[in-house]
Structure 1
Amino acid sequence: MLSSTRELLETAQRNIYAIGAFNVYNLEGVKAVIGAAEAEQSPAMLQLHPSALVYGGFPLVSLCLEAARSSTMPIAVHLDHSTSADDIRMALDSGMLSIMADGSHLPYEQNVTFTKEMTQWAHEKGAIVEAEIGRISGTEDGLSVAEKEAKMTDPDQAVEFIKATKVDALAVTIGNVHGEYKSAPRLDFARLEKIRHLVDVPLVLHGASGLPESMINRSIELGVCKFNVNTEVRQAYMETLQQGLCSSSLKDLLDSMAATIEAMQSVVVEKLRLFGSSGKAHLHQSPYAEMLAAKRH
C-alpha cells in the first residue's frame, strides 16, 4: 500500500526502529525493495535521486507509485536530494507524499529561503519535507562533496532552521558520508544527542551503507528513524552483472534481471533487519487512516 512518509517515520520514532529508504533506478531495484519488504513484513521507502529522474523521468515515478500501491506492505515513495523546484513540483503533482528539498549546498539564509518555499508547496499537496543543514561529504550518483567542504549540523542552528522553514524531518551530518567510507566510520553521537534533545522532528541519517551494527543501533537510540541506503544496493547489482557476464553464467536478459533482483533483495533484507523494521508492518495504519492523519497536520 502506498503509505504516508509522515506515518512511517512517526510510528518508527515511537517504537524505536528505523525505516530503510533505498534508492532505486529501474524495475529490478523496485522489485528488490518490494520483495524484501514483503518477505520481512516490513515498511520501506522507494527513493528516487535526481539522477534517476534524468534517466527514468515520469515513467519511473509512476512505476514506483504503482508498485507501492500494489504491495501488501506499507511503502512510501520519496524524492531524494532535490535542488530543483521543477523536479519537486513534478514529484508532488505525480502523487509523491514526501520530498527532500536539498539546499545544503547554499549559504544558510538561501537554504532557509529555498526550503521554506518548497515546504509550503509540499504542505499544500499533503506531503512532507526532509531537509538538511550541514553538508555530507562523499560521492553519490556522480555528485561529489570534498571532505574539506563537509560541515556538521549545528544543533542550535537546527532549531532555528526548523522553526523558520516548518520542515517535517531533518537530515543530520554527524560524520556520515555518501558512498564508501574510506576509513573506519566515526560518528559524533554527542552532537546527535544534543540535536535530538533540541528538536522533535524525525531525524534522518544519509550514508548508511557500511555503517556497523553498533553505530546503527546507537543512532536509532538517539532518535534516527530513517536511514538512506544506496551504495551497497548498487554494488550488489553491478557485481552480479559483472560476475555473471565474465563467467557466462548469465546467458539471457531475463536471467540477468532475475539475478540482480535477488542480489539487491538480499542486501535490502539485511538492512531491514539491521534497522529493526522487520516484522513491524502491522504497527502501521491503513492508507485511509494515513490520509486523515496527513490532513490533521
Structure 2
Amino acid sequence: MLIPTGQLLQKATAGGYAIGAFNVYTLEGATAVVTAAEELQSPVMLQVLPSALKIGGRPLVALCHALAKDATVPVAVHLDHCSSQVLTVKAMIWGVSSVMADGSELPFEQNIQFTQYVSEIARGLGAGVEAELGRLSGEEDGIAVHQREALLTSPEQAEEFVEQTGVDALAVCIGNVHGHYRRTPELDFVRLEKIRQRVDVPLVLHGTSGLPDELIDKAITHGICKFNVNTELRRACLKATEACFNEAQTGQQPELTRIMEESVRAMKEVVSEKIKLFRSAEMT
C-alpha cells in the first residue's frame, strides 16, 4: 500500500525502529525491496536518485508507484538527494511521496531559501520534504565530497533550519559518510542527542553502508528513524550479474531473465538483512 512518507517516519519514531530507504534503479531493485518487506512484514521506502530519474523519468516513478500500491505492506516513494528545483518539482508532480531537497552544498541561508521554496510547493502537491544540514564526505550520485569539505550538523542551526523551512524530516551529519568508510566509523552521538533535543521532526542518517551493526542500533536508540541504503544494493546487483556471465558456457551469454532473477535474489538478501537490523520487521 502506498503510504505518505511522514506517516511512516512518525510511526517509526514512536515505535523505536527505523525505516529502510533503499535506492532503486530498475524493476529488479524495486521488486527486491518490496518482496523482502512483504516477507518480513516491514514498512519500507523506494528511493530514486536524480541520475536514475533523468534516465527513467516518469515511467520509473510509475513503476515504483505500482509496486507500492500493490504491496501488502506500507511503502513510500521518495526522490533522494536532489538539488535541482526543476527536477524536484517534476518528481512531485509525477507523484513521489516525498523529496529530499538537497541544499547541503549551499551556505546556510541559501540552503534555507532553497528548502523553503521546495517545501512551499510540496505542501500544495501533498508531498513531504526531507532536507540535509551539514555536508557528508564520500560520493553520492556521482558527486564526490572531500573530507575537508564535510561539515557536521550544528544543533543550534538545526533548530533554526527546521523552524524556518517547515521540513518533515532532517538528515544529519554526525560523522557518517557516503559510500565506503576508509577507516573505522565514529559517530558523534552527543551531537545527535543535542540535535534530537532541539528538533522535533524525524531524523535521518545517510551513509549506512559500512556502518557496524552496533552503531546502527545505537543510532536508532538515539532517535534516527530512517536509514538510506545504496552502495550495498548496487554491489549485490553487480556481483550477481557478474556471476551469471562467469557461469555461462564458453561462447554463450546468460539469459536476461536469469540475470534479472539473480539480481532480485541478491538484492533481496541485502534488504532483508537491513530490515532486521533496523528493527522494522513485524512493524506493519
TM-score interval (norm. to shorter):
over 0.9
Aligned to 1:159: 159
Aligned to 2:273: 270
CA distance in 2, matches of 1:150, 1:49: 21
Q: How far off its partner does 1:38 sit? A: 0.6
4+ runs deviating over 6 angstroms: none
CA distance in 2, matches of 1:127, 1:256: 35
**Letter of the aligned partner of 1:126 in structure 2?**
G
Aligned to 2:22: 22
Aligned residues: 281
Aligned to 1:46: 46
Q: Contact 2:61–2:95 (CA<8 Å) still a contact in 1?
A: no
Q: How far off its partner does 1:143 sit? A: 1.2
Aligned to 1:134: 134
Aligned to 2:93: 93
Q: How far off its partner does 1:141 sit? A: 2.5
DSSP 3-state at the match of 2:226 = strand
Specify which of 228, 252, 255 is matched with residue 252 of structure 1: 255
Aligned to 1:289: none
CA distance in 1, matches of 2:140, 2:102: 14
CA distance in 1, matches of 2:39, 2:230: 20
Aligned to 2:103: 103
CA distance in 1, matches of 2:74, 2:166: 25
**Letter of the aligned partner of 1:188 in structure 2?**
D
Q: Percent identity?
A: 53
Q: How far off its partner does 1:240 sit? A: 1.0
**Letter of the aligned partner of 1:251 in structure 2?**
P
CA distance in 2, matches of 1:248, 1:148: 45
1:1-297 map, 5 Å:
1-248=1-248, 251-281=254-284
Q: How far off its partner does 1:251 sit? A: 2.2
Q: How far off its partner does 1:108 sit? A: 1.0
CA distance in 1, matches of 2:234, 2:95: 26
CA distance in 2, matches of 1:83, 1:12: 27
DSSP 3-state at the match of 1:6 = helix
CA distance in 1, matches of 2:217, 2:144: 28
CA distance in 2, matches of 1:7, 1:215: 25
Q: How far off its partner does 1:120 sit? A: 0.6
Report the RMSD for the aligned CA atoms in angstroms: 1.0
Per-residue CA shift, 1:115-140, capped at 9, x if unaligned?
A: 00100110111211100110011012
Q: How far off its partner does 1:247 sit? A: 2.9
CA distance in 1, matches of 2:265, 2:223: 31
CA distance in 2, matches of 1:240, 1:127: 35
TM-score (norm 1): 0.93
Q: How far off its partner does 1:244 sit? A: 2.1
CA distance in 2, matches of 1:93, 1:54: 15
Q: How far off its partner does 1:95 sit? A: 1.5
**Letter of the aligned partner of 2:115 in structure 1?**
T
DSSP 3-state at the match of 1:177 = coil
Name structure 2 gaps, 5 residues minimum: none
